[in-house]
Amino acid sequence: YAPTRCAAAQTSVEQSILPPCHHHEAVHDPQLVPCTCPLFSCPWEGHLEVVVSHLRQTHRINILQGAEIVFLATDMHLPAPTDWIIMHSCLGHQFLLVLRKQEKYEGHPQFFATMMLIGTPTQADNFTYRLELNRNQRRLKWEATPRSVLECVDSVISDGDCLVLNTSLAQLFSDNGSLAIGIAITTSKVHNAEDEM
Amino acid sequence: YAPTRCAAAQTSVEQSILPPCHHHEAVHDPQLVPCTCPLFSCPWEGHLEVVVSHLRQTHRINILQGAEIVFLATDMHLPAPTDWIIMHSCLGHQFLLVLRKQEKYEGHPQFFATMMLIGTPTQADNFTYRLELNRNQRRLKWEATPRSVLECVDSVISDGDCLVLNTSLAQLFSDNGSLAIGIAITTSKVHNAEDEM
């Protein structure tokens, strides 16, 4: 297993240490979505088609391209709550990886990682994403259907329906304070056929 | 992915609800090991070669055979602490799967799963074990080197160096209160060659 390693795929510390945003409760035009970036309390709203350019231009979120990429999240020691964000362009769509350090139980931060499609829930059902950690003779893989950014990333994480890492495991997979997360997206037709053991 | 499904691989509820044992502090003969079964406060000690027969005869732990097996842990709703135990016979050795429900953070039980070789740490280094959950279009795989039963399973779990599941994720992977865990053992030569992304 040797995915393309993409260097310098870090979000900046300045972005990361800002508190997660709270989306607007009311969206008047059903075609409009609020800013999907969980880093900021951002007043922006717009159509799905322009979410990517908003994230790139306003929030300076990087895009990585390729079927299999590696996202390097640096400074894992930063205090909770912290988010690491990257966009992944693949199979004609853009996906948003959110890695969040959060204290669900006070004094015990955990890491939560999930992928959201920048698209509708119906579109999201066509894909499977895989997150993989591999270090120190340990390997952890999580595969699931991405959620749509029209759903709130906060609820995905509070439901625990994502890759969850305790601090001890995150340290085992980290190298010099950085966590390399292998990411792959596939269409879910094959996955469905072989689903359920 | 379709491993052999082994039916009726449950430990009994009577065993499961007993508290985990605390191993003896002093082992006088270095060739002797205490009972490695984490279910019981068992006064037995003996040589490594007779641990398997002790576990079978005294604690009625089942043995599953085959390169890839499925262990079905039932009654996941039982209160913490609870252990589910199975032995896995593979590649000329016996391995002990321990699935433990425990409250590391009060009021928030988690599930911890690890495999131990019934053998020495040097022997354990020759193997890689994989635990896999697969349900509801989600898949979680954990691969690592097994520990030796000469090390304490309690410390492996308290270190968090194992597969860890929050209750919410355990429920997503459960079917009617039961969790099917796919288990595979391989020799670790190939694993080492392709190690580290």
The C-alpha torsion from B110 through B115 and B121 to B125, rounded to 10°, is -110
Residue at token pair 């079964």? B37
Q: Looking at residue B181, what is its pLDDT? A: 98
Answer whether B134 sits within 8 Å of A195, measured CB to CB: yes
Q: What is the mean pLDDT of residues B125-153?
A: 95
Answer whether B143 sits within 8 Å of A139, measured CB to CB: yes
Of residues B6 and A60, more confidently modeled: A60
- Provide the pLDDT confidence category of residue B155 given band limits of 50, 70 and 90: confident
B121 contacts: CB under 8 Å, gap ≥ 6? B147, B148, B150, B151
Among the partner-chain residues A142, A159, A182, the one whose CB lies closest to the CB of B197 is A182
Q: What is the mean pLDDT of chain A?
A: 81
Among the partner-chain residues A70, A105, A108, the one whose CB lies closest to the CB of B197 is A70
Among the partner-chain residues B168, B192, B195, the one whose CB lies closest to the CB of A160 is B168
B155 contacts: CB under 8 Å, gap ≥ 6? none
Residue B153: which H helix or E strand, with range? helix B153-159
Of residues A54 and A1, more confidently modeled: A54
With CA atoms as reference, report the closest residue to A51 among A80, A16, A23, A25: A23
Reported residue count of chain B is: 197
Answer whether A169 sits within 8 Å of B160, measured CB to CB: yes
Quick: pLDDT tens for A53-90. Answer: 998 988 899 999 998 999 999 999 999 999 999 999 99
pLDDT for B191 beyond 70: no
Cα-Cα-Cα-Cα dihedral sign, residues B115, A161, A169, A98: positive
What is the three-state SS of B11-49?
Answer: CCHHHHCCCCCCCCCCCCCCCEEECCCCCCCCCCEEEHH
- Interface residues of B toward A, Cβ cutoff 8 Å, are 1-3, 5, 70, 104-105, 108, 128, 132, 134-135, 137-145, 159-161, 163-169, 172, 180, 182, 188, 191-192, 194-197
Residues of A in contact with B187 (CB under 8 A): none
Nearest-by-CA chain B residue for A145: B137
**B63-187, CATH topology level:** 2.60.210
Answer whether A164 sits within 8 Å of B161, measured CB to CB: no
According to DSSP, residue A27 is labeled -
Residues of B in contact with A141 (CB under 8 A): 139-141
Q: pTM surpassing 0.90?
A: no
CA distance A16 to A97: 14
According to DSSP, residue A180 is labeled E
| DSSP E strand stretches across chain A | 32-34, 45-47, 63-65, 68-73, 82-90, 93-105, 108-117, 127-135, 138-144, 147-148, 163-166, 174-175, 178-187
Answer whether A1 sits within 8 Å of B197, measured CB to CB: yes
CA B3 to chain CA mean position, Å: 18
Quick: pLDDT tens for B48-79. Answer: 888 899 989 888 899 999 989 999 999 999 99
Q: What tokens were used for A30?
A: 């059903």
Quick: pLDDT tens for A114-153. Answer: 999 999 999 999 999 999 999 999 999 999 999 998 888 8
Q: Looking at residue A6, what is its pLDDT? A: 30
Answer whether B137 sits within 8 Å of A160, measured CB to CB: no
Answer whether B140 sits within 8 Å of A135, measured CB to CB: no
Residues of B in contact with A169 (CB under 8 A): 160-161, 164
Residue at token pair 């607007």? A24
Q: Are strands B82-90 and B63-65 parallel, antiparallel or unpaired?
A: parallel
What residue spans define the domains of chain B? 63-187
Answer whether B141 sits within 8 Å of A144, measured CB to CB: no
Of residues A130 and A19, more confidently modeled: A130
Quick: pLDDT tens for B94-120. Answer: 999 999 999 988 888 999 999 999 999
Q: Looking at residue B189, what is its pLDDT? A: 67
What phi-psi label fits residue A182: left (phi over 0), alpha (psi between -120 and 50 degrees) or beta? beta
Answer whether A141 sits within 8 Å of B141, measured CB to CB: yes
With CA atoms as reference, report the closest residue to B81 among B41, B43, B110, B58: B110
Answer whether A197 sits within 8 Å of B166, measured CB to CB: no
With CA atoms as reference, report the closest residue to B77 among B179, B161, B188: B179
**A156 vs chain B: nearest CA distance in angstroms?**
11
| DSSP E strand stretches across B18-146 | 32-34, 45-47, 63-65, 68-73, 82-90, 93-105, 108-117, 127-135, 138-144
Quick: pLDDT tens for A35-54. Answer: 766 656 788 888 888 889 99
Q: What tokens were used for B37?
A: 């079964």
Q: Which range has the worst mean pLDDT, A168-182, B24-38, B69-83?
A: B24-38
Candidates B166, B172, B181, B191: best to mutate against A (most CBs of A within 10 A) is B166
Nearest-by-CA chain A residue for B142: A140
